[in-house]
Amino acid sequence: MTPPAPLRALRRPAGAPAGLWLILVILAAIAAPLLTPYAYDIQNLKSAYQPPSASHWLGTDEFGRDLLTRLIYGARTSLSVSSIAITISVLCGMTLGAAAAWFGGWFDRAVTTVVDLTWSFPEILIALILVAIIGPGTTGTMVAISVAYLAQFTRLTRAQIMTLKGETFIEAAASLGAGNAHILFRHLLPNALAPVLVSAMLATGDAIILEATLGFFGLGAQPPVPSWGGMMSAGSALVFKAPWIIIFPGLAVAITVVAINLYGDALIAELDIRARMRRAV
Amino acid sequence: MTMSIRKTLLTASVSLFALFAAQAVTAQEAVFVLNTSEVGAPTYNPIKANNLNKATTLIFDRMVSQAADLSFHPWLAESWEEAPDGMSWTFHLKPGVKFHNGEPFNAATIGPWLEAFKGSENAYMTEAIAKVEVVDDLTVKFVMARPEPNMLYNLSSSFMSVIEPKSYAALGDNYGVTEVYGTGPFKMESFTVGQETVLVRNDDYTWGSPLAKNTGPAHIAKITFREIAEDSTAFLELKTGGVDMLLGVPADLLSEVKKEPNLAVLTLPGQDVYYMPINVTKAPFDDIKVREAVAKAINQEEILASVFGGVGSIADTFLISALPESHVSDAAKIHYDPARANALLDEAGWVMGADGVRAKDGQPLKVSLWTQSDSIFRRLTEVVQAQLKAVGVEAEITTFDSSMIRDQYKTGTQQLAVRSYDWDNADIVDWFFGADRLGYPNISMFNDPKAEELRKAAMTGSKNMAERVANFTAYHEYVLTQFPMAPIYQPVESVAYNADRLVMPTELNAPVVGSTAVMDMEVKE
Amino acid sequence: MYSYLIRRIVMLVPVFLAVSLVIFLILHFIPGDPIDNLLKVGSSPAARAEMEARYGLDQPLPVQYGIWLSKVVQGDLGTAIVARRPVSDLILQALPHSLRLGGLALLFSSVVGVGLGVLAALNRDKWPDRAIMGGVLLGSTMPSFWLGLILMLIFSVWLGWLPVSGARSASALVLPVLTIGLGGTALVARITRVAMIEASGRDFVTLLHAKGLSPLRIQLRHVLRHALIPVVTILALRIGWILGGAVTVEVVFARPGLGTLLIKSLSQHDYPVVQACLLMLAMAVMLGTLLGDILQAAMDPRVRAALA
C-alpha cells in the first residue's frame, strides 16, 4: 500500500527539507510556552536593544523582550491568521465557483466578471480598504485576507467544475437521474478538491506575506500579541539601531513561504495535477 | 543608421547624467525635512488651516514676533498701545513693506485680513475684535468687544500670518494651494501636497524681525521642504547627506544623531505634551478613584528614561512647564504612585486576581487603550500597557491610522488613549476639556459644571494678562484634580542638521526654529 | 477580428457601471466623515450643513452616485475635500511617478524573468534550473517592505551609493524598482520556464529538429515565441499591480504615487480622491484584461484563425 500523497511529497528532494521546516514551525507554534524560558509580553526595559547573544539567541527588542520567544509566538499568530483566512476564502470561493459553473448563464457571467476584476486588483489594496471598513486587529485582517483571495479560489473551482462537467462519468450520473445537488456534492466537488487544496496551501504562503504587510501598516494583531508583521513594523523604525529586530522575522516569513511553495510543488508532482492547476490560472 | 543610434544613446546618457547630477545641491540651496506631525498639511492658507507647516513662517510675516523667553517684540507692527481697560489696541505699522505680488502692506491691509477670519477655522483668534479703524496709512486701532489679554500671542501665531487681501479674495480656495502671497523672506515657487514645497528668496526683503541679526534678504537662496512621514527614513536621509536639516527629531533618535560626527543638534524647549486621556463617561472610569489610580500607575520617569532616552522631562500637569499656568499646587500635580494606585483600586472594589488582573463582581478590569500608528506612539503605548498591567489593569491596544483616529474619538467609545498635543498657550485646556467639544478634541468626554464655570472665567472673563494667568491656573488645577487624563512626558524640540553644510546662528532668540533662525542661517560654500 | 474587438469593448460598459457602483458604495461603508477633517471643531450645525451642501454630501446616495458618475463620464473627477484641490491635479501629479516605477519594475521583471526562465528551461532539472528557480522563489517570498528596507540599509546607508528616499532624482528610482521587480521576477520566470518546456514538446518543434536547425536556435527563435504568449497574457492581466501594487514600496521609500495617494486619502476619508484612484485602477485593469485577450489573439495563430 502506498502512503498518502502528503507523506510521499516529503520524500521528494525539495519536499523533504521544506516539509520538515513547516512541521518544525507548526510544532514550535503549538508548543511555544514549553520551548522558551521567556514570556512574550513581559517588558524588561533595562535589557532593550541587545544584539544576539547566548542568553538571547536572536537578541532583544525595544522593550527588552526575547526576540526568539516572540518569533515563536508570532508564528502562532501569523500562521493561524493566514490559514484561517484562507480556509474561509476556500469555502466561500468553492461555493461561489461551483455555483457559477453549475448554473451558468447570467449568474456565471456576473460572477466571472466580478471575480476577474478583483483578481486583477492588487490584494494589498483590497485588504487595506477592507481593514479601513472593518477596523484594525486580528478579525479585520482575517476578513480582509479571505476576501482578497476569494477571486482566486472562485476562478479555480469554476474552471475545475467546467472541465469535469464534460466528462463521461458526470454525464452518466446525470442520465441515471441523479439530482443537481447530488452530482455537485458527490461527484464534482470531490474531484475538484485536490487542485483547490494545493492552491490553498500555496495561497497560505502569500497570505502570510499579506498579513505581514498589514502588520507593517500597524493594522494587524495588536500588541503585546506578537505577529511577524507587527515585529517587522516595530523594527522598521529601528533598522539602523537594532537591525536584528526586523531581519529575523523577515527571514522567518521568507523561509516559511519558500518552504510552503517547495512542499506545494512536491505535492503537485505527487498528485500529478500540474496540468489541472495550470488550466485555471 | 548606426550613427543615429549612437547619437540617441549619447543624448540618453547625457540626460541621464543630468538627472543624476540634479541631485547634488548647489551653493546656498538647502533641503529641510518638515516635522512628521506637519506632513500632509494641505494648504498655506493660514486662516483656513488646522495644521500649518514650518515653511509657512518663511512665506509670511506676522505683526508681532515672540522671543525665546516668550516675550513679544515688534515685527510688521513697529509699536502698539493697549487701552488701560483693555477695550482698544492701537498698532503702528512698519513703512515700506511689500507683498510678493507687489501690493503694499499698510493700514488698509488689516481690515480685510481680519474680516477673512469670520466663520473660518481660526475665527476664535479674532472674535474679541469688534472692529478695525484706520487712523492713518500706517496706524490701525482695534476696537474690542471684550478685553483679550491673549491678543499679542494671537498676533504672533502663524495662524495670524499676514496675508495679501486682494489675491486672497481673488484666488478663493486656491490661495495657499496653487499660489500664495505674503510679505515673508521667501516666496513659494512650487507646492506638491504631501511631497515638497520649494521656496525662493524674496530679494526685496528688508523688514525682518528684530530678533534675528539679519533683517535684510536671507542668506539662503532656495529652500526645499520635504515631507517624510517616517522619522527613521528622514534620519537616514540626513545621515547619508540627502537632506541638510530635520525640523523635528524624536528623542529616541537623538542618540543616533549624536553618533554621527558631521551631524549637530540644536535643542529648544518643546511645546508638546504626551498624555493619556481617560474617558470619564465610560465605566470603570466614571469612578474617579479608578481614574486617579490609572493616572498614578503611569511611571513617567521610566518612560522618560526608556522610551525617550532621558531627553526632555516628565509631564506632571497638562501644560508645558514654560507656561505660568502650569504652576499649580503640588497636590494637584499627577505623579507616579503605585501604592496609592493599588490602594485606590482596592477601595473601589477591584480585587487583584491570581492572573494579575483585578476583578469586581466577576468582571475583569479590562479596558481599551487606543493609539496611533506612528512608531513612537506604538512604543510608548506598549510601555503604558505594561505599567497598567503592573497595578492589575489589563489594557487592550488598538492602533489607528494617525489621521483616522480623530474620527474614532468622535464616536466617544474610547476608554484610554495615548496621544500628544503641540501648543504653547494655556487655552489648550479649554480646547481639550471644553464641554462643547465632546469626543474630539474633548477625548475625555469631560463635562463638569464647576470646570465650565472656571473655563468661562478663564476664556472671556480676564481683563489683563495677570488675571488671565490666575483664572487659567485655577481652571487647569481643577481639571487636574478630576483626573480626565494622565500627563506623561514633555519633549524638547530638537532640530538636527548637517554641520558640514549649514551654519546655524550662534544665538537663537526664538521659541522655535522658524523664520528667525533661517534668516541667520548660512549654507557652507 | 474587428467585430470581436468591438464586442469586447461594448461589453466593458456594463462592467464599468457595475465597478463604479461598487467603488461608490464601498466608500460609504467606511466609518468616518471627510467633513470632520475640514470643520473647525465645535462649528455650528449650520456651518456643517453648508459644507456638506458644498460637496454634495447632503443628497441621497443614489443622487450622489448619479451626479458623480455623470461628472466622471465628462472627465470631471471633482474636488478633493481634504486636500482642497481638483482631484485630477492630484492624480496627474501621482500618475507619472507610479507609471515610471511600475513600468520600470515591469520591464525589469519581464526581461530578467524571461531571461532566467529561458535559462532554467534550457537546463531543465539540472543545477542551473534548480538554482535559478530557488533564487527567484526566495525573491518573491520576501515581504516587499522588508526587502526594500534591507536594500536601503545596504545600498544607501552602508555603501552610500543611492538616495534613501523620495523622487528627486533618477537614482532614487533604482531601489524601489529593484524591490518590486525582484518580487515580480519569480512569476514571470516560472511561467516562461513551464511554457518553454511545454512548447518544446509540440509537433512543430520535432519538425524543426528534423529539418536540422540548431537546437538553441529552435529554442530561442521558435519555442520562446510560443512560450511568450502566456507570459504576456499574465502580465497584461496583472496591470493593476503596475499602478497600485507598489503602495508598500512607495511608503517605505517615501515616494509619491497613486498607491500612496490612495492610502492617504482613504485614511482621511477624502472620498472624491479615493473614488477616482480606484476608478483609475479599475479602468487600467479592464484595459489590461482587454489588452491581454487581444495580444493572445494576435500572437496565437490558432485563436487568430478562429476569429477571422
Whole-number Å distance between alpha carbons of A242 and A232? 12
Q: How many helices (H) and strands (E) does chain B have?
A: 16, 25
pLDDT tens, residue by residue, B181-216: 999 999 999 998 888 999 999 999 999 999 999 998
Looking at A141-145, A218-222, B192-196, B370-374, which range is the least confident one?
Answer: A218-222
CB contact under 8 A, B406 and C37: yes
Residue B457 neighbours by CB distance under 10 Å:
17
Whole-number Å distance between alpha carbons of A227 and A137? 11
Whole-number Å distance between alpha carbons of B91 and B110? 10
Whole-number Å distance between alpha carbons of A189 and A180? 12
Subunits adjacent to chain B (3 or more Cβ pairs under 8 Å) = A, C
Whole-number Å distance between alpha carbons of A22 and A19? 5
Q: How confident is the model at residue B289 (pLDDT cuts 50, 70, 90)?
A: very high
Name every chain B residue with its beta carbon within 8 A of the beta carbon of C42: 434, 436-437
- What are φ and ψ of residue B63, in 5° steps? -65, -40
Between strands B245-246 and B492-498, the pairing is antiparallel
Residue A1 neighbours by CB distance under 10 Å:
3
DSSP track, A252-281: HHHHHHHHHHHHHHHHHHHHT-HHHHHHT-
Distances (CA, A) of B74 to A154, B88, B204: 71, 18, 20
Q: Could you tell me which of A72, A216, A208, A231 has the C-alpha nearest to residue A148?
A: A208
- The residues, ordered by sequence, that sit 6+ positions from C102 with a Cβ below 8 Å of its Cβ are C180, C241, C242, C243, C245, C246
Residue that wins the pLDDT comparison between B440 and A29: A29
Going by the DSSP 8-state scheme, the letter that residue B125 receives in this structure is: G
Give per-10-residue mean pLDDT for chain C (308 aa): 77 82 79 64 65 76 86 84 84 88 89 91 87 88 90 89 84 90 86 84 77 78 80 75 76 86 81 86 81 73 56
How high is the pLDDT of residue C244? 64
Strand-by-strand arrangement of the B351-352 sheet: B351-352, B358-360, B363-364
Exposed, middle or buried, B302 (CB in 10 Å: 0-12/13-18/19+)? Answer: middle
Going by the DSSP 8-state scheme, the letter that residue B401 receives in this structure is: -
How high is the pLDDT of residue B223? 96
Q: How confident is the model at residue B464 (pLDDT cuts 50, 70, 90)?
A: confident
- What are φ and ψ of residue A63, in 5° steps? -110, 15
Residue B296 neighbours by CB distance under 10 Å:
22
Evaluate if residue B19 carries a pLDDT over 50: no
Residue B411 neighbours by CB distance under 10 Å:
11
Bridge partners, residue B486, by sequence: B276
How high is the pLDDT of residue C303? 57
Cis geometry, peptide bond prior to residue A37 (ω within 30 degrees of 0): no
Whole-number Å distance between alpha carbons of B35 and B400? 20
Spatial contact of B379 and B307, defined as CB atoms under 8 Å apart? yes
- The residues, ordered by sequence, that sit 6+ positions from B105 with a Cβ below 8 Å of its Cβ are B76, B93, B94, B97, B98, B99, B162, B183
Q: Does C195 touch chain A if contact means CB atoms closer than 8 Å?
A: no
Helix (H, G, I), strand (E, B) or coil at B395: strand
3-state secondary structure A149-181: HHHHHHHHHHHHHHHHHCCHHHHHHHHCCCCHH
Residue that wins the pLDDT comparison between B9 and B296: B296
Bridge partners, residue B359, by sequence: B351, B364
How high is the pLDDT of residue C209? 77
How high is the pLDDT of residue B139? 96
Evaluate if residue B8 carries a pLDDT over 80: no
CB contact under 8 A, A262 and C137: yes
Evaluate if residue B511 carries a pLDDT over 90: no
Q: Could you tell me which of B177, B441, B229, B403 has the C-alpha nearest to residue C37?
A: B403
Spatial contact of B311 and B320, defined as CB atoms under 8 Å apart? no
When the pLDDT of each residue in chain B is averaged and rounded to a whole number, the result is 90
Using CB atoms, which residue from C85, C170, C253 is nearest to B19? C170
Task: Give, for A215, the enclosing helix (H) or strand (E).
Answer: helix A189-216
CB contact under 8 A, C267 and A258: no
Evaluate if residue B5 carries a pLDDT over 60: no
Spatial contact of B333 and B316, defined as CB atoms under 8 Å apart? yes
Subunits adjacent to chain C (3 or more Cβ pairs under 8 Å) = A, B
CB contact under 8 A, C146 and A250: yes
Spatial contact of C172 and C207, defined as CB atoms under 8 Å apart? no
Whole-number Å distance between alpha carbons of B2 and A279? 46
pLDDT tens, residue by residue, B32-60: 999 888 888 889 999 988 788 999 999 99
Residue to test with chain C: of B23, B33, B51, B171, most C Cβ within 10 A: B23
Spatial contact of C144 and C233, defined as CB atoms under 8 Å apart? no
Residue at C138: amino acid letter: L
Helix (H, G, I), strand (E, B) or coil at B34: coil
Q: Does B22 touch chain C if contact means CB atoms closer than 8 Å?
A: yes
Half-sphere exposure of A262 (CA within 13 A, CB side): 27
> Distance between the two ends of chain A, CA-based, in angstroms?
34
Residue that wins the pLDDT comparison between A4 and C133: C133
Going by the DSSP 8-state scheme, the letter that residue C171 receives in this structure is: G
Spatial contact of B218 and B186, defined as CB atoms under 8 Å apart? yes
Residue to test with chain B: of C35, C38, C79, C84, most B Cβ within 10 A: C84
Evaluate if residue A188 carries a pLDDT over 80: no
Cis geometry, peptide bond prior to residue B441 (ω within 30 degrees of 0): yes
Q: Could you tell me which of B217, B216, B177 has the C-alpha nearest to residue B200?
A: B217
Q: How confident is the model at residue B24 (pLDDT cuts 50, 70, 90)?
A: very low
pLDDT tens, residue by residue, A235-249: 888 888 888 999 999
Task: Give, for B33, the enclosing helix (H) or strand (E).
Answer: strand B29-33
DSSP track, C245-299: TTHHHHHHTT--SHHHHHHHHHHHT-HHHHHHHHHHHHHHHHHHHHHHHHHHHHH
Greatest mean pLDDT range, A110-119, B76-85, B248-257: B76-85
- What are φ and ψ of residue C50, in 5° steps? -65, -45
Between strands B245-246 and B29-33, the pairing is parallel
Looking at A73-77, B112-116, B281-285, C186-190, which range is the least confident one?
Answer: C186-190
Evaluate if residue B387 carries a pLDDT over 70: yes
pLDDT tens, residue by residue, B397-446: 988 877 678 778 888 889 999 999 988 899 999 999 999 888 888 999 99
Residue to test with chain C: of A116, A123, A124, A125, most C Cβ within 10 A: A125
Taking the C-alpha atoms of A212, A218, A222 and A225 in order, what is their torsion angle to the nearest 10 degrees?
50
How high is the pLDDT of residue C39? 60
Q: How confident is the model at residue A278 (pLDDT cuts 50, 70, 90)?
A: low
Using CB atoms, which residue from C18, C194, C285 is nearest to A120? C285
Q: What's the sign of the alpha-carbon dihedral A226, A228, A233, A236?
A: positive
How high is the pLDDT of residue B116? 93
Q: What is the mean pLDDT of residues B79-84?
A: 93
Q: How confident is the model at residue A194 (pLDDT cuts 50, 70, 90)?
A: confident
- The residues, ordered by sequence, that sit 6+ positions from B68 with a Cβ below 8 Å of its Cβ are B268, B508, B509, B510, B511
DSSP track, B207-238: ---TTSS--SS-S-SEEEEE--S-HHHHHHHH
Strand-by-strand arrangement of the B272-277 sheet: B313-314, B485-490, B272-277, B419-422
CB contact under 8 A, B242 and C40: no
Calculate the CA B488 to chain-centre distance: 17
Treating both helix axes as pointing N-terminal to C-terminal, what angle do C258-268 and C271-299 enclose, rounded to 10 degrees? Answer: 150
How high is the pLDDT of residue C50? 75
Using the structure block, give the residue that is written with the C-alpha cell 474620527: B407
Spatial contact of A269 and A198, defined as CB atoms under 8 Å apart? no
Residue that wins the pLDDT comparison between A182 and B377: B377
Using CB atoms, which residue from B232, B376, B378 is nearest to A218? B378
Q: Does A129 touch chain C if contact means CB atoms closer than 8 Å?
A: yes
Q: Does A257 touch chain C if contact means CB atoms closer than 8 Å?
A: yes
How high is the pLDDT of residue C191? 86
Task: Give, for B66, the enclosing helix (H) or strand (E).
Answer: strand B64-66
Residue that wins the pLDDT comparison between C3 and B361: B361
Exposed, middle or buried, B71 (CB in 10 Å: 0-12/13-18/19+)? Answer: exposed
Q: What's the sign of the alpha-carbon dihedral B71, B76, B78, B80?
A: negative
Percent of chain B with pLDDT over 90: 66
Contacts with C, B 59-118, CB within 8 Å? none
Spatial contact of A210 and A62, defined as CB atoms under 8 Å apart? no
Q: What is the mean pLDDT of residues A13-28?
A: 89
Residue B364 neighbours by CB distance under 10 Å:
15
Name every chain B residue with its beta carbon within 8 A of the beta carbon of A70: none
